[in-house]
Structure 1
Amino acid sequence: MKIHFVLLISRQGKVRLTKWYSPYSQKERTKVLRELSGVILSRAPKLCNFVDWRGYKVVYKRYASLYFCMCIDQDDNELEVLEIIHHYVEILDRYFGSVCELDLIFNFHKAYYILDELLIAGELQESSKKTVARLIAAQDSLVETAKEEASSLSNIIAQATK
């Protein structure tokens, strides 16, 4: 199973995250975002979470004010993609402590990093939430260490130039 792209769209139609695993030009990406936003946001809540679109299937799930969407081939398993979406949301919840749209707006780099730990080239890479959480914690630790080193280095430079 290959995921062609991942979209996170707010209820107002604002795109909060995109990850493209198949080649699309910038013009095509804009058209896809506009088209799918209109299709998904206009659907009634009681309808199924699968949409046939341009020979593909778009699987989406709404969590609070966000729609998590993934595009797959016609013959791929929709339920597996729903599980991947739920898995991603659970990891985001664990990391942010009840994730909300603002977490993704202000920490989009973390949302991308988590997605990259989960999916590579549109295929599920890591199914263990504990492993992903451990990798994210290690990355956060590296970032903190780098910030501390940069801060101490700039202090040394500032004192040396006085």
Structure 2
Amino acid sequence: MLQFRTHKVIYRRYAGLFFSLCVDITDNELAYLECIHLFVEILDHFFSNVCELDLVFNFHKVYLILDEFILAGELQETSKRVCIFLMLLLFFTYSGMLESIRTPPYE
């Protein structure tokens, strides 16, 4: 944890990846460390041992995952199982929408 004026930078290292958050100085750093850990566990589920290349080439999926369990800077869902279920539902819906755009309706 690093302090800078009125903020704290909280970071955690997983293998070769660093995940960091900038939060208020009054916020609980342990809660944010658990948030980072949950994010990495969900990424590991989708990318099976997530690495830098997964994050670079699938950044749209990473942002979808991040947007699903963090809203306006606050953790919305703490259950890994629920997050994964919602992500799978979202990915299948998204891929179905793309497929319907690719195939003309008059076939």
TM over 0.5: yes
Correspondence 1:107-146 to 2 at 5 A? 107-146=58-97
The 2-side partners of 1:155 and 1:102 are apart by 39
Q: What's the counterpart of residue 151 of structure 1? A: 102
Residue 147 of structure 1 deviates from its aligned partner by: 2.5
- What is the RMSD computed on CA atoms of the aligned residues? 1.5
Kindly report structure 1 stretches of 4+ aligned residues shifted beyond 2 Å: none
What are the superposed Cα offsets for residues 39-66 of structure 1, whole Å, 9 maximum, x if unpaired? xxxxxxxxxxx00112211100111222
The 2-side partners of 1:78 and 1:143 are apart by 34
Residue 155 of structure 1 deviates from its aligned partner by: 8.1
The 2-side partners of 1:141 and 1:123 are apart by 26
Residue 154 of structure 1 deviates from its aligned partner by: 7.5
TM-score with structure 2 length normalisation? 0.91
State the identity %: 48
Q: What letter matches 2:94 in structure 1?
A: V
The 1-side partners of 2:106 and 2:53 are apart by 33
The 2-side partners of 1:54 and 1:122 are apart by 19
Structure of larger gyration radius: 1
Q: 5+ unaligned residues in a row in structure 1: which ranges?
A: 1-49, 157-162
TM-score with structure 1 length normalisation? 0.62
